[in-house]
Amino acid sequence: METITMIHAARFLDQEVVVNAWVTNKRSSGKIAFLQLRDGSAYFQAVILKNQVAPELFEQVKHIGQESSLKLRGTVQASDRSALGYELLVSDFEIIGHSEDYPITPKEHGTDFLMDHRHLWLRSSRQHAIMQIRNEIIRATYQFMAENEFIKVDPPILTGSAPEGTTELFHTKYFEEDAYLSQSGQLYMEAAAMAFGKVFSFGPTFRAEKSKTRRHLIEFWMMEPEMAFVEHEESLQVQEKYVAYLVRNVIEHCQLALKTLERDIEQLEKYTQLPYPRISYTDAISLLKKNGFEDIEWGDDFGSPHETFIANQYEKPVFILNYPKGIKPFYMKINPEDPRTVLCADLIAPEGYGEIIGGSEREVDYETLAENIEKFGLDLDTYAWYLDLRKYGTVPHSGFGIGLERTVAWLSGIEHIRETAPFPRLLNRIYP
Ligand code: 4AD
Ligand code: MG
C-alpha cells in the first residue's frame, strides 16, 4: 500500500493508502468521528465510522490530543466538505507520538503569545499558506533568472564594507579585525557582473534598524540581480517583468494558499499587467504637497504615509524615479538631466505594502566614486577592490534588490511582515 501526501489525493481516488499526519482538531458523535489533519502538504479531514473499525480503535479516538501524530490507513474519497476536495475514510490508524495540552488551541491568541510559540504556530494552516507563497516566490525567482540567463553568485555574509550606510550595521569581530554582517550583496554582485555579465544573488541580509514597523525585519532575504552593459531604463523593464512573473506564478501555483488567506485574486491579476506606472521623486513631492502633506520638502526621504499615498494613486506597483543624491547611497550614478538627483528607482507596492525594490544604475567614473566614498565617511582602503572595477574595463551597469519578505507580505495580503519568515528576527525578539 502506498504512503501518500494528501495534496496528491486526486491520483489515488477510491484507493486504499497510508497517510502520516498530525491532528489539528477532532469531533465525534456516537457513531462517527471526524479528525482534522495536517500532513505537511495539506489540511484535510478523515472520517472514522464506528461500524467500520475495531471497537477499541473507535474508543481510542476520544483520547487523541491535538497535535498527536498518526499513521492512518484508509480510502481516498471525493468530498465537497473541504477546500482540498478529498477526505480519507479510515480503516485503521496507530498513534506515533502523543500530544497533550497543546498550547495553541483553536481559540484566539495574542500576538506575543503566538510569537513565543512560533515553533508551534508554524503548524497552522495560515502559516502553511504563507510559507507556500514564500516558497513559490523563491522557486519562480530561480526559474525567471535561469530563463533570462542570469547565473547565481553567492556574495559573502561576513564583510568589511557597508553598501547601505554605516548606521545600521551589525558589528562583529573577525579574529583581530572588525567585520559586519552583510546589509546587501550588491558591491560583490557588481564585481560578479563584470566577470559573468548577468548575475543574481539570493541570501540573508541584516539591518540593525531600530524600526518597529509592520514592514521591517532585522534579518531578511534579498534577491539582487546585477547586469553589465545595462542602463537604468532597461533595468526598470527587467524589474517589472520579474515582479509580474512572480505574481503570475503565485496565482497559478498557490491557489489553495491564496484561498486560505482569502486573498483577492482579481486584485493580484492587475499586477501582472505591464508596464507599471512611473512618477519622478520631484513630481511625487509636488503631489504630496498639494494633498495636505505640507511638512515634506524637496530633499526629504519619504515615510510610509507618503509612500502609501503615492501608491494609492495607482492600481499597480509604481516606480518612484530619481531621488535626491543626498538620501541615497554613495554608489548611485548622477542623473545627467538633473545632477541634484541620481539614476535610481524604488518600486512601491500597492495596498500600503511600501517599497519592495530599491535599484539604480551604478556610478562608473573612478574619480566621482572615490570622492563619494570619502564624502560618505567611508574608508578608501576598504573599497579599493570596488574601485578596481572602474579601472579595468568598466561598463555601464545596473541592478536592484527586492526584499523577499515584503514581497511575501504583499502577495499574501497579510498585515505584518513578522509572519513572512519562519523564525523572524524583530527588534527585541530573537526567541525562538
Ligand atoms: O533599498 P535597499 O536598502 O537596497 C539595497 O540594499 C541595494 N543595495 C539593492 C541593490 O541595488 N542590489 O533594500 C532593497 C529591498 C527593499 O526595497 C525592501 O524590499 C527590502 O530590501 N528591505 C527590507 N525588508 C525587510 N526589512 C527591512 N528592514 C528591509 N530593508 C530593506
Ligand atoms: Mg531602499
pLDDT digits (tens, 9 = 90+) for 178-220: 999 999 999 999 999 999 999 999 999 999 999 889 999 999 9
Closest to 145 in 3D by CA, of 331, 400, 320: 400
CB proximity list for 63: less than 8 A, separation 6 or greater: none
In the block, residue with C-alpha cell 519578505 = 405
358 within ligand 1 shell (Cβ under 6 A): yes
Does the beta carbon of 401 lie inside 6 Å of ligand 1?
yes
For ligand 1, the distance from its centroid to the CA atom of residue 358, given in whole angstroms, is 6
In the structure, ligand 2 is a single-atom ion and the residues with CB under 5 Å from it are: 358
Place of cell 476536495: 85
What is the model's pLDDT at position 79?
A: 95
* Ligand 1 contact, 225 CB (< 6 A): no
pLDDT lower than 70: segments of the chain: none
Cβ–ligand 1 distance for 209 under 6 Å, the answer yes
Kindly list the structural domains of the chain, giving each domain's residue range(s) and its CATH number in brackets, ordered by start. Answer: 2-97 (2.40.50.140), 118-420 (3.30.930.10)
pLDDT of residue 29: 87
* Placement of cell 502553511 in the chain: 128
Q: Ligand 1: which atom is nearest the Cα of residue 224? A: 12
Ligand 1 atom closest to the Cα of residue 218 is: 28
* pLDDT attached to residue 431: 96
Number of alpha helices (DSSP H) and beta strands (DSSP E) in the chain: 13, 16
CA–CA separation, 313 and 297 (whole Å): 20
Q: How far, in Å, is the centroid of ligand 2 from the Cα of 300?
A: 14
- Return the pLDDT at 71: 98
Closest atom, ligand 1, to C-alpha of 225: 12
Give residue 251 CA to ligand 1 midpoint distance, Å.
24
Residue 135: CB atoms within 10 A of its CB come to 14
CA distances to 184, 281, 378, 379 from 371, in Å: 22, 25, 10, 11
| Exposure b/e, 274-292, CB count within 10 A at least 16 = b | eebebbbbbebbeebeeee
- Residue-wise pLDDT tens digits, 75-89: 999 999 888 999 999
Distance separating alpha carbons of residues 133 and 250, to the nearest angstrom: 6
Residue 376's nearest CA partner among 157, 183, 158, 164 is 164
Atom number, ligand 1, closest to the C-alpha of residue 400: 11
Helix (H) or strand (E) run with residue 142 in it: helix 125-147
| Residue 357 CB–ligand 1 contact under 6 Å | yes
CA of 328 to the centre of ligand 2 (A): 8
Write the CA distances from 352 to 219, 244, 258, 413, 422, integer angstroms: 21, 18, 19, 10, 23
Q: How far apart are the first and last CA of the chain?
A: 39
Helices (H), 183-264: 186-196, 232-253, 255-260
The CB-based long-range contact list for 206-213 (8 Å cut-off, 24+ gap) reads 206/170, 206/181, 206/182, 207/164, 207/168, 207/183, 208/168, 208/169, 208/170, 209/168, 209/427, 210/427, 211/427, 212/426, 212/427, 212/428, 213/304
Predicted pLDDT of residue 83: 85
Which residue in this structure is represented by grid cell 525585519? 217
> Which residue lies with its CA nearest to atom 28 of ligand 1?
216
DSSP structural state of residue 273: S
Measuring CA to CA, which residue among 284, 321, 278, 328 is closest to residue 306? 284
Nearest ligand to the CA atom of 408: 1
pLDDT of amino acid 20: 98
Cβ 392 vs Cβ 78: under 8 Å: no
Query: Which string of DSSP letters, residue by residue, matches 11-63?
Result: GGBT-EEEEEEEEEEEEE-SSEEEEEEE-SS-EEEEEEEGGGS-HHHHHHHTT
In contact, 88 and 47? CB cutoff 8 Å: yes
Per-residue pLDDT at 160 = 86
DSSP letter, residue 121: H
Question: Cα separation of 176 and 195, whole Å?
Answer: 31
224 lines ligand 1 (CB under 6 A): yes
Nearest CA to ligand 1 atom 17: 357
Grouping H, G, I as helix, E, B as strand and the rest as coil, residue 279 is: strand
Nearest 5°: CA angle at 164, between 160 and 170? Answer: 55
The pLDDT assigned to 149 comes to 98
